[in-house]
Every structure is written in C-alpha cells, then in structure tokens.
Structure 1
Amino acid sequence: MRCPQLLFTLAVTALTAVSSGVWAAGFENIIVSAETDADTTQDSFAKDTPKIFVSAELTEEVPSGSKVNISWIAVDTGGAAPPNYKIDEVNLDITSMINHVNSAMTKPNNGWPVGTYKIEFSVNGKPMESVGFTVK
C-alpha cells in the first residue's frame, strides 16, 4: 500500500561497464544529487526539486549473481508518511558487466514533504550501505 502523499515515479537504470581491478568492500562513491551524473553529493534539497538521483559503484562485496536492492525511505516527514516509510524500491540482478547502479525519484505533485530521508543499499537481503538527505 502506498501513502497518497508520496506517490513517486521510480526511474532505475543499471549502467554497464567492464569491471577493472579489485574494489574495496561495500558500495563506493555514493552520490545523491539533483543532477544526473553529478560528481558531488548533496545532503539537502528544496521541496520543488524535480528529481533526486542516486548513483553508486559496486565493489567486490557485490559479485556477479548478486541481487541488489535500492530502497527510498521517508524517515521523518512530519506526518506526511509514517516514520521509516519505504516509498519505493528497485531490485537489480548484477552481472559481470555491471559495476555501477543508478536510481531516481521524481517529485510528487505537491512537492517533496519536508523531512529526512534515506536510501538503503542491500545485497542478497543484507543491508550494506545507506545515505541520508533532507528536504527543506
């Protein structure tokens, strides 16, 4: 069931690239931004931000054959949604050709509810990383 105030369009793509070298543990270079393909991360967004993007590089902790889950969670939106409400999620099957994942959330019709949010990355059902942001 979805909270009517939080109807989002989830746009997800997994970029493919040939992996090279050995990676460090976990997800690396997690970038949250109002722009696609950004080089720096943002920790705060305006209510009228059209779209929020997240990207991350996969590491050796995410081998080929893994199932990656990216969850968008409204931690505290002052009653617009229940605490720690999972807005949406995407599940990706990782192949040897994938070393980077992207996801994006589109602004709801009435704007983003003010509050705190997080994006969680899980591998094969195990939480691995999370990154938070706020909407002001």
Structure 2
Amino acid sequence: MHRPQQLLFALTFTAMTAVSSSIWAAGFENIIVSTEKDADTTQDSFAPDTPKIFVSAELTEDVPAGSTVNIAWISVDSALTKPNSGWPVGTYKIEFSVDGKPMESVGFAVK
C-alpha cells in the first residue's frame, strides 16, 4: 500500500530569489500554507510581522522514489529589500519542483 509522503518547510525571512518556468504538472497535493506547523487549512495572506510561514504538501504517486524535491520561496511583487525584521508587503509564491522540473506552485500575500 502506498502512503503519501508529506513535506513540511518553514521559512523565516532572509532573502528570496525568483525562478520562472511555464511547465506545470501533478506531483503534489493537499498543499497548506499557514502560520501553524500542523495546520489543516491554508491561508492566503499574512501580516508583515509573521515570524514563520509553514508549507506542507503530500507527494503523489507521480513522484518516483529517489527523486530530488526542491521548494523555492519566490518574491513575485514586493519591491524586495532586505528588512531589519518582518516580511516586505507584496505577493509571493512557493514553487515545488522534482528533479529540477517545476511541478506545482501556490501563492500568498503579505498585507
């Protein structure tokens, strides 16, 4: 019996870089972005003073065992500058890739 693997990542703001691609496919499901580590529901916006933002996702059977999974936290539109504390106001996305190929993404905002 196949049991979905779950990924969990937290990010405190340090720096973000952008990578773009137009290739999107299956591979991840039940993606949740939240201030809670084990949240059941996703949030689409956060306050600038949010200390941590967590993301979790389940791998689908489309992802072969032994694959390299990467998660990129990307500033889409935030007039990004390195703040002393907190998140710059703007929009962001989290991009999931497998073996270097983008598979899924989810967006959120800091307001």
Shift of 1:58: 0.4
Helix, strand or coil at the partner of 1:61 = coil
Helix, strand or coil at the partner of 1:78 = coil
State whether structure 2 residue 53 is matched by structure 1 residue 52. yes
Give the counterpart of 2:104 among 129, 132, 136. Answer: 129
Alignment of 1:35-74 (within 5 A): 35-74=36-75
Q: Taking structure 1 as reference, are residues 79 and 71 closer, same or farther at Cα in structure 2, changes over 3 Å only?
A: closer
Helix, strand or coil at the partner of 1:113 = coil
Q: Taking structure 1 as reference, are residues 67 and 116 closer, same or farther at Cα in structure 2, changes over 3 Å only?
A: same
Between Structure 1 and Structure 2, the one with more strand by share is: 1
| TM-score, with length taken from structure 2 | 0.74
Give the residue type in structure 1 aligned to 2:110.
Answer: V
Deviations 1:36-85 (A, max 9, x none): 0100000000001110000000011112110101000111112437xxxx
Flag as ranges the 4+ runs of structure 1 deviating above 4 A: none
Q: Taking structure 1 as reference, are residues 50 and 79 closer, same or farther at Cα in structure 2, changes over 3 Å only?
A: closer
- The alignment-based identity, stated in percent, is 79
Partner residue, 2:14: 7
Q: Note the residue ranges of structure 2 that are not aligned, 5 or more in a row.
A: 1-12, 16-25
8 Å CA contact 2:70, 2:98 repeated in 1: yes
